[in-house]
Structure 1
Amino acid sequence: MSSAKRILLTTISASPRENVNYQFNNQVAIASQAPVALIKLLPIHELPDKVIILCTQKLYDEQYETVRNLLLEYYDQILCNTLNQRPDVTEVRIPDGRTVEELWQILEAVLHSIPHNCELTLDVTHGYRSFPFLYFTAALFLKALRGVQIKAVYYAMLESEETEKPIIDLSLLLDMVEWFYATRIFHHTGQASPLCELLRPLETPPAGVTGKDNAPYQLVKSIRRALENVSAAYAQALPLELGREAEQLLRRITQPIPRHMEQKVPLATELFGSISSFAGSFALPATRQRRIRIKEVELNLSELTRQSSIIDSYLKQGYVNYALGMIREWMVSCAMWNQMAEESIYRVDWWIGHKRFETEHKFAVLARTAYKADGNTTRDIITPEQRWLASKWQFFSDKRNQLAHHGFRYEYVLHSPQQIDEIRAQWEELKSFVSSKPHWNLEIKRGQGTLLLSPLGLSKGLLFSALHHIRPDEVFVVTSEESAISIEEITNRADWSGRKYVYKMKEPFTGFAEAKTISRELQNYILKSDRIIANITGGTTAMQYVIQQVTQDLRLTGIETEIIAIVDRRTPAEQVETPYVPGEIIYIEGQGRLNPPPND
């Protein structure tokens, strides 16, 4: 039994009828005022602990004391053999309600008179015609913000032609408002908590209901759980999980609505239709698989359109952070789809991390290449469509990163309405090219020739042997300030006169972290060659490490890179004394094609 204080909020008639027969719960009570009849007809366990009577000055002067005495007299009769105390019967003075200002004063008086977390019963029989609206407004406020439980809203039908005037419970109207509000919240925000709380009481069967008779209640429970899952997936911005959970929700709410639910839920068909319209655009195609959490989703235009509708919803509702995160992933998916060969159009592993990482890395390379394009080195490498794509990737990545770090950046990142409008405009433009393959081409047109990547330490012979055997068009040397002095001598002795690019490590022995810097520096030269060979021998351990890391980065972008090692079987002393003797070349990975040295 609830320990919350039970309160009856009522008003009284200025012109009471004598000896009216009020009927409630198949019982009849005679009274001149509805609240007196209601107190007589309520079960003892539902009687209020406090009765609050709203009174104008006239009502207080002419009717209040009479009604108060009748109420207390009845309580004395039924409680004389119990330990219960008499209720507190009190009045709250209100104006006549003839102006808007007075109506606000009445509403304020009602709200101030009702404590938090009580059980409230309303009697709306008497009073001005505006009172029911005030009661309902107050009830919604109290329930939403003060934890007040509305137990009933009683109205005595005095206008009825019947001898016995029925007292009916209008709380269904409040329930209807709550259902409408909860459905609206779900439709506008994706949050299902209010709906789930309303559904929860309807999933508990009455005592003794078992077997097939319990099925309708189990269906309500499954609907509630499906709503929770859809709401969670939407709140966590998980498009694949959302699609699967939305599909499961649609399966359940398209079944016939249980009869006990129709009796409790106003306009249940229309409400479920609104839920379906929200979840329907996000749902994946129906599947018969039992393990619905398996993400076997085909990547096609329909799937991209489904995901774009989720992004549209986030932008419409103001969830800019979710939208930006999903737009970036959508771009990766769209690029993968546009790059798919016809025979692989039904691939189902497009959502796996390492496959997406390859595409993301290509986006990063394209963006860096477009950013560094100065009209000289990369003018003919990047197409106009690729420049467009690179700008979109950079724009959405920057916006996404600003919010992903929750403002922990130097700049002030709160997005203004104008900035959000720009995001929407950029997104609409991006969507319009979803099927245009030239706009999603990540393959950068490269030049011709061979580029050799090689470390250089104090041993001159390894770079010499690599140049002698490979005969590259260009060489990118990772070395130290001290060893860089030997490069000119080495190239002369190898009779090699190609283009040289030199990166001098700040920390030749411990500069392992310089790999990223070297990788970025190398991008300008990679695009000029169609063959990349990496020599992993020579120099310090740190130099060899960065060459291997650069090679790995290149392969992640789809640029095939051959890996070689140079072996000199002579003694260390001989290698130092006569360094310019070609050693052996070993192809560790790659095609192993040698360019002939001059005069061979």
Structure 2
Amino acid sequence: MTENNCILLTALGKEARESNYQLGEKKESARLSSIALAKMLDKKPNRIVALCTKAAEDTYDILKKEMEAIKIPCEKVTIPEGKNNDEVSEIMKKILGKIPEKSELILELTQGLRHIPFLFFAAALYLSTLKEVKIEGVYYGMMEVKRKDKDGLDYCPFVDLRILLEMADWFQAVKAFKEDRHARPLIKLLKDKKNNLPKPTCKENNVGGPYKNFLNHITNLSLNYGAGLPLEFGKDVDAIISDILEISDPKRKEILDSKIPLFPELIMKIKESAEPYKFTNTNKPGTSKDWKKEIVLDERELEREAKLIDEYLENGLYANAIGLIREWIVSRVIASLNKCGEKITWIEHKEREKIERILGSLYVMTKEDETRSILNEEHKWLGEIWNDFGKIRNKIHHHGMREDNVELEIEEIKNKWEEVKGKGKDDKWWNAKIGGGEGVLLVSPLGLSSGSLYSALVKVQGDLKLKPNKVVVISSKDGVKKLDEVKNASKYDGDIEPILFEDPHAGFNEIKKIVNETAKHLKAADEVVVNVTGGTTAMQHAVNEITKEAEGLGKKVTQIALVDRRPVEEQRKNPYVAGELIILTKEEKE
């Protein structure tokens, strides 16, 4: 910005009479207020733009002559009287057309038609916001408030009304923050004021520290809101409310009120808009790095996050809304399961992934006749709503990088979310646990060699201290012939349910059917142990898929392998020697 871009904008009336003006300690007599102001300004404008109606053109000649004497060029802009909207728009266009981008502007409001100051203010807001024009002053000569000076003359004081533009900036910034958490204008204004704060002389008037904290937390809040991080956002809200209480101390408030127009009122509006998203008094995060683990997943926390989703949808931040809806569904399921005696750490990633797998399995089960029948209506709804939001999320989060066009059905999204919220307080819709009550289920393949199944029956009871109430054996019509022999040798007295491959070697296309047949047994179990040793490759692949199905049903799953270190010939002669049990995977739920 250069000195050559400093413009004084004024409007002239029909009359010009000699008056005395004062700006600070400077005094000047002139027939026009704009002449007096131009002479008294420390920083002279390099050009004056004067708005004149046809009736005021003679007045312009007076201005031009006086300014030529001090080498400031003038430009006359003829305007209509502004008697209707069209004329007002014409005046505004002429003003905006005369002020270049990134220039400096001084407004002089004293003379001209009475509605001209309103146009000047509107123009100033436009120019400063959209053309990066710096407003150097907004001067009004108070003709009706003359002050008698020691020289005995009456002077009209000039008052700089820039504070009104500053107020408008603050109002707009706070409004933007309240309505859509757009904090950049507010942050800019806060930063601009930071360096002008007085240095403290005692603890009570130390404004800089609390003010800096407030600025930092507003900045973080805006970042975390935009990133869709509800817990970090909530922590920032708590910090901001605490900051506001601190800087609202009477002494600090007095200092800030002198620096920022209507500061107490504005800061309370910020507090009011943030308060719905604060954590409860009994659920406040600490200062440790593990502060999230201190947040309790209760009804109030779910409501707080639901309000945030509502705001995202209202503000058109659909990516944030959809992503958070899916996380909200996971959290709501965890809350329901914990009420039923589970002890799930709701913020732990692996626990949330497990719930996602369960929800995904529910949806898959709704699509298969064999498994759909074992689901109740609540499970079917939960699986389908999870899938619905999953498809919407994928459209958005892949940013349209797919062959099909992305067209968001906003009303449908909002309606589905309202449906989710409507069921939010009724636990029956959120208990994703299926079945249970029949104890431990052992799943094992059985090929032509019976040693692996025998070892599983013996070692699960011996090493794991678990008594299977039922055993599902994945086998073939030839392999199952040894089932009674294995049962007798292991002294297992529970039920054994064989599920058979037609082609045990190449029947990979049968695996889906076998998993579906196993699902009803998985549903009834409280805990599942899966042996992956023995049988054909197809059988082993099948039990791995059954493991996934069990996990998807929310069951506690332990996957094991059995190792017999004896020579092969000895194993064939005497298969009924228990091998070594190795735990492959185990999901702890303590």
TM-score w.r.t. the length of structure 2 is 0.82
Corresponding letter in the other structure for 1:12: L
C-alpha distance 455-38 of structure 1, shift in aligned 2 (>3 A)? farther
**Does the CA contact (< 8 Å) of 2:173 and 2:186 recur in 1?**
yes
Question: Aligned Cα RMSD in Å?
Answer: 3.7
**Does the CA contact (< 8 Å) of 1:22 and 1:156 recur in 2?**
yes
How far apart are the structure 1 equivalents of 2:198 and 2:417? Answer: 55
Residue 12 of structure 1: CA displacement? 1.8
Q: Which residue of 2 aligns with 1:445?
A: 435
Bigger mean CA offset, 99-108 vs 488-497: 488-497
For residues 495-530 of structure 1, the C-alpha deviation after alignment (integer angstroms, 9 at most, x for no partner) is: 69955343979999xx9xx9xx96897255223344
Residue 237 of structure 1: CA displacement? 0.7
C-alpha distance 293-4 of structure 1, shift in aligned 2 (>3 A)? farther
TM-score w.r.t. the length of structure 1 is 0.80
**Does the CA contact (< 8 Å) of 2:361 and 2:549 recur in 1?**
no
Corresponding letter in the other structure for 1:191: H
Q: Which residue of 1 aligns with 2:333?
A: 335
Q: Which residue of 1 aligns with 2:416?
A: 426
1:53 aligns with 2:50: yes
How far apart are the structure 1 equivalents of 2:137 and 2:504? Answer: 80
How far apart are the structure 2 equivalents of 1:282 and 1:468? Answer: 54
1:102 aligns with 2:87: yes
Q: Which residue of 2 aligns with 1:406?
A: 399
1:118 aligns with 2:109: no
Residue 549 of structure 1: CA displacement? 7.2
Q: Which residue of 1 aligns with 2:132?
A: 147
Bigger mean CA offset, 27-36 vs 260-269: 260-269
> Within 5 Å, which residues of 2 pair with 1:4-403?
5-17=5-17, 19-43=18-42, 46-60=43-57, 62-73=58-69, 75=70, 86-160=71-145, 162=147, 163-205=154-196, 212=203, 215-255=206-246, 256=248, 258-285=253-280, 287=284, 289-291=286-288, 294-295=291-292, 296-341=294-339, 349-372=345-368, 374=369, 377-379=371-373, 381-403=374-396
1:436 aligns with 2:435: no
Residue 153 of structure 1: CA displacement? 1.0
Residue 423 of structure 1: CA displacement? 2.0
Unaligned 5+ segments in structure 1 are 76-85, 478-486, 591-600
For residues 33-83 of structure 1, the C-alpha deviation after alignment (integer angstroms, 9 at most, x for no partner) is: 01101012212xx211221112233433x122321121231x2xxxxxxxx
Residue 183 of structure 1: CA displacement? 0.7
Corresponding letter in the other structure for 2:16: P
Q: Which residue of 1 aligns with 2:464?
A: none
**Does the CA contact (< 8 Å) of 1:466 and 1:535 recur in 2?**
no
State the secondary structure of the residue aligned to 2:478: helix
Corresponding letter in the other structure for 1:360: E
Bigger mean CA offset, 220-229 vs 158-167: 158-167
How far apart are the structure 1 equivalents of 2:290 and 2:497? Answer: 56
**% identical aligned pairs:** 29
How far apart are the structure 2 equivalents of 1:444 and 1:571? Answer: 44
For residues 458-494 of structure 1, the C-alpha deviation after alignment (integer angstroms, 9 at most, x for no partner) is: x7566786899899764435xxxxxxxxx33323354
**Does the CA contact (< 8 Å) of 2:176 and 2:182 recur in 1?**
yes
Residue 571 of structure 1: CA displacement? 5.0
How far apart are the structure 2 equivalents of 1:297 and 1:467? Answer: 42
Bigger mean CA offset, 125-134 vs 498-507: 498-507
Bigger mean CA offset, 156-165 vs 447-456: 447-456
Residue 284 of structure 1: CA displacement? 1.6
Residue 368 of structure 1: CA displacement? 1.7
C-alpha distance 588-526 of structure 1, shift in aligned 2 (>3 A)? farther
For residues 82-101 of structure 1, the C-alpha deviation after alignment (integer angstroms, 9 at most, x for no partner) is: xxxx4432222323323322
For residues 239-288 of structure 1, the C-alpha deviation after alignment (integer angstroms, 9 at most, x for no partner) is: 11011110000011123253242134333233222211221111123558
Q: Which residue of 1 aligns with 2:518?
A: 525
C-alpha distance 10-563 of structure 1, shift in aligned 2 (>3 A)? closer
How far apart are the structure 2 equivalents of 1:548 and 1:209? Answer: 69
Q: Which residue of 2 aligns with 1:597?
A: none
State the secondary structure of the residue aligned to 1:38: helix
Corresponding letter in the other structure for 1:132: P
State the secondary structure of the residue aligned to 2:277: coil
Residue 198 of structure 1: CA displacement? 1.0
Bigger mean CA offset, 381-390 vs 101-110: 381-390
C-alpha distance 227-563 of structure 1, shift in aligned 2 (>3 A)? closer
How far apart are the structure 1 equivalents of 2:336 and 2:367? Answer: 23
**Does the CA contact (< 8 Å) of 1:503 and 1:518 recur in 2?**
no
C-alpha distance 270-344 of structure 1, shift in aligned 2 (>3 A)? farther
1:554 aligns with 2:550: yes
**Does the CA contact (< 8 Å) of 2:504 and 2:538 recur in 1?**
no
How far apart are the structure 1 equivalents of 2:285 and 2:456? Answer: 61
Residue 206 of structure 1: CA displacement? 6.0
